[in-house]
Amino acid sequence: MQIILRALATGLFISYLPGLVIPFKKNTGAGFLGTLWGIPLVWCLPNDFLLYSICMLVFWVFAVWVCKKVQLKGDGGHDNPKIVIDEIAGYVTAMAFLPRTWPYFVAAFVLFRTFDTLKPWLVKTFDNMHNAFGVVFDDVTAGLMANIVIQIFVVFIVKG
C-alpha cells in the first residue's frame, strides 16, 4: 500500500527524475514536472461546473490524505519537493471553470508556477503550516490566485 501512496504522491515517481539528473541541487524542477501531470488530469475532468467542483474538492481531500500518509525521507522537511500531488491539486484549481484551450492551459501553468514559487502572503501562510493540509493548500491557494487573475483578464480584457 505504501508504494501505491508514494507513486500517487510523487506523480508516478516523476519527481525523482530531476534529482537523478541534477543530484546536488535542492530545487530541481520536480514541482514543474508535477504540475505537468495536472494538464491531462484537467483534460479528463468533466466540463460541467458542478461536477468539476465536486471532483476538485474530492481531489483536494485525497491529496491531503495522501500527503498525510506518505513520509518521504531525505531533504525537504515538512513539504518534501518529491511530493507533487499538491502541485497537481494547485493546477486543477488554476484551471477551474476555464476553457480547455492551450492559451488557458499555458496561462494557468505559468501563473500557478509563479505564485507557487513567489509565495505571496496567503500562499506563504499555508506554506508555514507544518502539516499535510498546509502542504496541499499553499498550492491550492496559488492555483486560486492564478485562476482569479485569468478570470479578471477574461472579463475586463477579452470580453471588455
Backbone dihedral region for residue 123 (phi beyond 0: left; psi -120 to 50: alpha; all else: beta):
alpha
Query: What is the radius of gyration, based on Cα positions, of the chain?
Result: 15
Write down the domain spans for the chain. Answer: 2-158
Q: What is the pTM of this model?
A: 0.87
Q: Which residues contact 15 (CB under 8 A, 6 or more apart)?
A: 30, 31, 33, 34, 81, 82, 83, 84
Longest dimension (CA), the chain: 51
How sure is the predictor about 27, in pLDDT bands with cuts at 50, 70 and 90? Answer: low
For 82-93, how does the pLDDT look when each residue is reduced to its tens digit (9 = 90+)? Answer: 889 999 999 999
Nearest to 9 by CA among 94, 76, 101, 99: 76
Specify the higher pLDDT residue, 150 or 155.
Answer: 150
Specify the higher pLDDT residue, 139 or 33.
Answer: 139
Specify the higher pLDDT residue, 128 or 153.
Answer: 153
Residue whose C-alpha cell is 506523480: 11
Compute the CA torsion angle 130, 135, 137, 141 (nearest 10 deg).
100
State the amino acid at position 127 in one-letter form: D
For 2-24, how does the pLDDT look when each residue is reduced to its tens digit (9 = 90+)? Answer: 888 888 888 787 776 765 555 55
* Chain centre distance of CA 157: 26
User: Residue 75: its pLDDT value, please?
Assistant: 45
Rounded mean pLDDT of the chain?
86
**Rounded mean pLDDT of 118-123?**
88
User: Residue 151: its pLDDT value, please?
Assistant: 94
Q: Is the per-residue pLDDT at 54 higher than 70?
A: yes
Specify the higher pLDDT residue, 160 or 126.
Answer: 126
- Residue 125 C-alpha cell reads as 501562510
Q: Is the per-residue pLDDT at 59 higher than 90?
A: yes
Q: Is the per-residue pLDDT at 25 higher than 60?
A: no
What is the share, in percent, of the chain residues with pLDDT greater than 90? 50
How sure is the predictor about 32, in pLDDT bands with cuts at 50, 70 and 90? Answer: confident
